[in-house]
Amino acid sequence: MRTQVAVIGAGPAGLLLSYLLHQAGVDAVVLEARDREYVRQRVRAGVCEQPTVELLTEIGLGDRLAREGLPHEGFSLRFDGADHRIALTELTGRAITVYGQQEIVKDLVDAHEERGLPLHFEVSGVSLSDVDTERPVVRYRDASGTLQTLECEAIAGCDGFHGVARPSIPDGVLSVFEREYPFAWLGVLAQTPPSHEELIYTHHERGFALHSMRSPEITRLYLQVDPAEDLAAWSDDRIWSELAQRLAVDGEFTLREGPILDKGITPMRSFVAEPMRHGRLFLAGDAAHIVPPTGAKGMNLAVADVRVLSRALVALLKGDASLAESYSDTCLRRVWRAEHFSWFMTTMLHTDPHADPFARRLQLSQLRYTATSRAAATSLAENYVGLPFGG
């Protein structure tokens, strides 16, 4: 088998890259370890930056997003028992749209299938070789267990933090930067209308909480917990009780409860591997970097990566290697900005069990400044809605 670009991973990064390449006349094959339904249904991020929405609309994948997405022109920042609105659109002229990552994946899977674009699920034993040459090779077993060899001109590793692409780069090539946080998120998906028209980020002495949503009927909520917390210890009643305490505010606010459809605990880390390219192997999305979810940057960074990568690969396959050579540097400028913003939001909003009273007073000072200074609020809003794509 031969193709121009082998794409490892059918998350939003891999699927969007494949679609962009096909629109530019470049052949690509997507390989995914999970089955089709798992890929379409796995619950992930839900906040789309404005540049992400604009790109999806530009390439013809914005119809359902426009119908079902929930545009937000601000969000609430709660602390000291009070609610403070960050007016995103007033401050920046831009907004965010709540539209689940799995919905974007569904749109991309459907677009691939409608156009007959190569998308292979349930592959296993993926290995990469000859990535230092102009003819790298991907070997894998297809859904039937048959060994396949795919020759290509470039490989895009879009297979996440635990995928095979990054480990395929020889030792000593990558520099890794990482930080683990002393807390995790317990996330729940509840069948109940949202309790507020916008997202609520809460700093509370009992720990951080976030009120979000996926649709007018489905609410997404998060609680800060210990990374070693046992999910079995969190009954539905305990979750709702803790959310009510942390989201409480002086004045009128009622937390709407309902059946919990899904729950899980996610540890938090910051991670960057650079460079994001070795030979003809290019890393994108979570394969190259992880951000804590507080800044809502993970999926949006993946979209930014593959927008740059698609252009670099199109040029490379036409004989111009300049964009491929600058791919890593171009992406990393945005990655490190997002890493800093995500770290900033995380450390400002979460209750660090190891922090001393001095650090906690500094945290409250930052929150109060952000809520009362237009300049500070504008800086937060500008990063939150998404900086313009570069490269």
**Taking 90 as the threshold, does the pLDDT of residue 49 lie above it?**
yes
**Over residues 187-214, mean pLDDT:** 96
Annotated catalytic residue: which of 112, 297, 327, 350?
297
Structure confidence at residue 388 (pLDDT): 87
384 flagged as catalytic: yes
User: Per the structure, how many domains does the chain have?
Assistant: 2
In a domain, 90, yes or no: no
The confidence band for 275, taking pLDDT boundaries of 50, 70 and 90, is very high
Phi-psi region of 164 (alpha: psi -120 to 50; beta: other; left: phi over 0): alpha
Residues 159 and 287 in one domain: yes
Residues 104 and 150 in one domain: yes
Annotated catalytic residue: which of 22, 72, 204, 278?
72
Residues 154 and 257 in one domain: no
In a domain, 77, yes or no: no
Whether 190 and 257 have beta carbons less than 8 Å apart is answered as yes
**Over residues 19-24, mean pLDDT:** 98
Whether 174 and 156 have beta carbons less than 8 Å apart is answered as no
293 flagged as catalytic: yes
- In this prediction the pTM is 0.94
The confidence band for 390, taking pLDDT boundaries of 50, 70 and 90, is low
Annotated catalytic residue: which of 19, 203, 293, 350?
293
In a domain, 257, yes or no: yes
Annotated catalytic residue: which of 99, 201, 222, 327?
201
- Angle between helices 322-349 and 298-317 in degrees, nearest 10: 180
Q: Residue 268, SS3?
A: strand
In a domain, 31, yes or no: yes
Strands 137-141 and 200-202: unpaired
**Percent of the chain scoring above 70 in pLDDT:** 99
Whether 59 and 104 have beta carbons less than 8 Å apart is answered as no
Whether 140 and 128 have beta carbons less than 8 Å apart is answered as no
Residues 192 and 314 in one domain: no
**Sheet of 209-213: strands edge to edge?**
82-86, 75-79, 200-202, 209-213, 219-225, 175-190, 260-274, 289-290
Structure confidence at residue 184 (pLDDT): 96
Structure confidence at residue 389 (pLDDT): 84
Residues 114 and 149 in one domain: yes
**Taking 90 as the threshold, does the pLDDT of residue 282 lie above it?**
yes
**Over residues 120-134, mean pLDDT:** 97
What residues make up the domain containing 199? 181-268+352-385
Using one digit for the tens of pLDDT, what is the confidence trace for 58-69? 999 999 999 999
Structure confidence at residue 252 (pLDDT): 83
Average pLDDT, the chain: 96
**Taking 80 as the threshold, does the pLDDT of residue 44 lie above it?**
no
289 flagged as catalytic: no
**Taking 70 as the threshold, does the pLDDT of residue 239 lie above it?**
yes
Please, what is the Cα angle at 314 between 318 and 120, to 5 degrees?
120
Annotated catalytic residue: which of 19, 222, 327, 384?
384
**Percent of the chain scoring above 90 in pLDDT:** 95
- As given in the structure block, the two tokens for residue 335 are 């990655």
Residues 188 and 211 in one domain: yes
Calpha distance 282→12 (Å, rounded): 16
Q: Is the peptide bond between 293 and the residue preceding it cis, with omega within 30 degrees of 0?
A: no
Closest CA to 40 of 6, 10, 64: 10
In the chain, the amino acid numbered 300 is: N
Structure confidence at residue 381 (pLDDT): 98
The confidence band for 46, taking pLDDT boundaries of 50, 70 and 90, is confident
**Taking 90 as the threshold, does the pLDDT of residue 338 lie above it?**
yes
The confidence band for 127, taking pLDDT boundaries of 50, 70 and 90, is very high
297 flagged as catalytic: yes
Residues 340 and 279 in one domain: yes
Closest CA to 163 of 374, 318, 343, 14: 14
In a domain, 42, yes or no: yes
**Helix or strand run (H / E) with residue 13:** helix 12-23
DSSP-derived letter for residue 323 is: H
What is the CATH classification number for the domain harbouring 233?
3.30.9.10
357 flagged as catalytic: no
In the chain, the amino acid numbered 182 is: P
